[in-house]
Structure 1
Amino acid sequence: MGANASSLPGDSNPLTRPKLEDIPESCIALVLSYLDPPDIAKLARLNRAFRAASSADFIWVSKFPSNYPYIIAKSPDEGVEEKGKKDIYARLCRPSPFDGGTKEVWIDKRTGGVCLAISSKALMITGIDDRRYWNHIPSDESRFHTVAYLQQIWWLEVDGDLEFQFPSGTYSLFFRLQLGKIGKRMGRRVCNSENVHGWDLKPAQFQLTTQDGQHAVSRCVLDNLGNWVHYHVGDFVVDDHNSLTKITFSLTQIDCTHTKGGLCVDSVLICPSRLGKELISVDC
């Protein structure tokens, strides 16, 4: 009787109290499936039971974007689909370059939202082949390691287009720009503003258009000397995740009454609008 009484519920004996590792792995996995990936990763460090449960395929399948096979097909890694779903999710969170390395796609590790970046080298820039106007210069502040730098021009026109399969939802498009050329002096970041001029006279115009008739226009005076800024062009909505979405977008300042110069064009960013709100951005 005494032996049985020692194992009754509420017993204070530390040897008989339930422990975290006593929870069935299937129960742990079910709880983890309701959490965001960063929280799952934290709990996986608790003990072996949580670590094993965190690898359950059904947890990660629910986090995949609807177009994940389309993204995986662009991955340079062979055999990705043969891995466990947790490893596939981790691979999706790392940028996958495509179109000759001029574009990258990845998913946000917290929300699973699909994001894309388009290099300045994938954009059609008026005068880009004339070194009197533009140069491609190296930059360790760009994910593509290079930016387009404007010396001086009368007619600024930067155009781009994209055809991609997005999950359903609302997306924001940004141009990542900076006034001034960045360098280093004595190991410190410095901005050369020598060629910066003309941006305070007239605003730059941003546009985006989709194949189904969505259109957005914004105008903004560029004044971000020495700082990278995401200029918000506008938003678009994807209804059918099974179809390709076609987008065209542009940055222009075509008032030929004055020249302008000293502009760095890094890239175009497309991301779910809820993530776009978290950017250090300018909503024109």
Structure 2
Amino acid sequence: MGAGASTGLAQEGEAAAHEAGLGDLPENCVAELMLRLDPPEICGLARISRTFRGAASGDFVWKTKLPRNYTYLLKKALSEKEGEVVLSPKKIYARLCRRNPFDGGTKEFWLEKHKGRLCMSISSKALLITGIDDRRYWNYIPTEESRFHSVAYLQQTWWFEVDGEIEFNFPPGTYSLYFRLHLGRASRRLGRRICSTEHVHGWNIKPARFQLWTSDGQHVLCHCNLDDPGCWIRYHAGDFVVENANAATKVKFSMKQIDCTHTKGGLCVDSVLICPKGLRQEKVSASIRV
């Protein structure tokens, strides 16, 4: 009889243990946990149970993941037709993580999905390039290796100067600005990537000068030699800090090599990237700051 009673208690304990699980946690407790997680982790937990799925859809969870000025970013991202639709905070986050073109498609921004920090890319067609209209020196060439499907290719010049600017309500934080460049002209032959370097010259004689300025008085200057033909490299022009998300920050930037004692050429100018400082990048150059 004692053995039978023990077996019964054991079965009841096993049944209770089987019935209690993560799905039995109150949804508000699960939501509090999700406030401390990154968006990909929240989406992963949503697969556990109905309770987790409900908590992962909570508006107050996703509002904490959005940038402070998300209404400005959303207005910038949506078309007139889309602007009539009311989106939940979760859908707003997903929408802002997509590539959002503006200024005629020459610029785009997005949120990196892990921390919801803003990134931006500016096409070469939105930059002021000295001599770009002279086809003896410059051409726009199509390529699948650019987000914008074309790059500015320099055959040869004495005076190299690329300028640009952006005025935007950046969320608060520290941002890094890069020029995405490539020595040599890449193409595909029989399904393989090849790179022509016949016009590459002059970049190892004197370094290029990178600068950036902001409307609140920040200024960075650095020099860097361009090297490693055949690779896309992001050359770090400098960092700037944004403190007020409700005010537009104007950022001006430039890349120059105007020593007319020698010509330089064989360079592809793809875009300018602005992203949170410390975000992992593809191959990035080292630079000398002055």
TM-score range, shorter chain: over 0.9
Partner deviation per Cα, 1:204-255 (whole Å, 9 max, x = no partner): 1100011121110111110030101110000111122211101110010001
- 8 Å contact from structure 1 (residues 7, 16) kept in 2: no
**Measured at CA, do residues 129 and 47 of structure 1 come closer, stay the same or move farther in structure 2, by a change above 3 Å?**
same
RMSD of Structure 2 on Structure 1 (CA)? 1.9
**Measured at CA, do residues 35 and 11 of structure 1 come closer, stay the same or move farther in structure 2, by a change above 3 Å?**
same
**Structure 1: distance between partners of 2:185 and 2:36:** 46
Counterpart in 1 of 2:29?
27
SS at match of 1:71: helix
Counterpart in 2 of 1:51?
53
**1:252 and 2:252 correspond:** no
**1:281 and 2:284 correspond:** yes
- 8 Å contact from structure 1 (residues 147, 265) kept in 2: yes
- 8 Å contact from structure 1 (residues 105, 117) kept in 2: yes
Corresponding residue pairs, total: 279
Counterpart in 1 of 2:118?
114
**Structure 1: distance between partners of 2:62 and 2:160:** 45
Runs of 4+ in structure 1 deviating by more than 2 angstroms, as ranges, are: 5-8, 12-17, 277-280
**Structure 1: distance between partners of 2:250 and 2:141:** 29
Partner deviation per Cα, 1:59-86 (whole Å, 9 max, x = no partner): 1100111121111111134147611111
SS at match of 1:13: helix
Give the TM-score taking structure 2 as reference length: 0.91
- 8 Å contact from structure 1 (residues 32, 54) kept in 2: yes
**One-letter identity of the residue aligned with 2:14:** S
- TM-superposed CA distance for 1:274, in Å, is 2.4
- 8 Å contact from structure 2 (residues 181, 269) kept in 1: yes
**Structure 2: distance between partners of 1:251 and 1:271:** 18
- TM-superposed CA distance for 1:16, in Å, is 5.0
Please point out which of 220, 227, 240 is paired with 1:223. 227
**Measured at CA, do residues 76 and 17 of structure 1 come closer, stay the same or move farther in structure 2, by a change above 3 Å?**
closer
**One-letter identity of the residue aligned with 2:118:** V
**Structure 2: distance between partners of 1:33 and 1:162:** 33
**1:211 and 2:215 correspond:** yes
**Structure 2: distance between partners of 1:253 and 1:53:** 55
**1:102 and 2:106 correspond:** yes
- 8 Å contact from structure 1 (residues 11, 17) kept in 2: no
**Measured at CA, do residues 16 and 248 of structure 1 come closer, stay the same or move farther in structure 2, by a change above 3 Å?**
closer
**Structure 2: distance between partners of 1:67 and 1:39:** 23
**One-letter identity of the residue aligned with 1:136:** Y
Counterpart in 2 of 1:68?
70
User: Which one has the bigger helix percentage?
Assistant: 2
**1:199 and 2:183 correspond:** no
Q: Tell me whether 140-149 or 44-53 shows the greater mean CA deviation.
A: 44-53
SS at match of 2:234: strand
- 8 Å contact from structure 2 (residues 75, 83) kept in 1: no
**One-letter identity of the residue aligned with 1:252:** K
Could you list the runs of 5+ residues in structure 1 that have no partner in the other structure? none
**Measured at CA, do residues 81 and 271 of structure 1 come closer, stay the same or move farther in structure 2, by a change above 3 Å?**
farther
**Structure 1: distance between partners of 2:273 and 2:281:** 13
**Structure 2: distance between partners of 1:144 and 1:28:** 41
Give the TM-score taking structure 1 as reference length: 0.93
**One-letter identity of the residue aligned with 2:126:** A
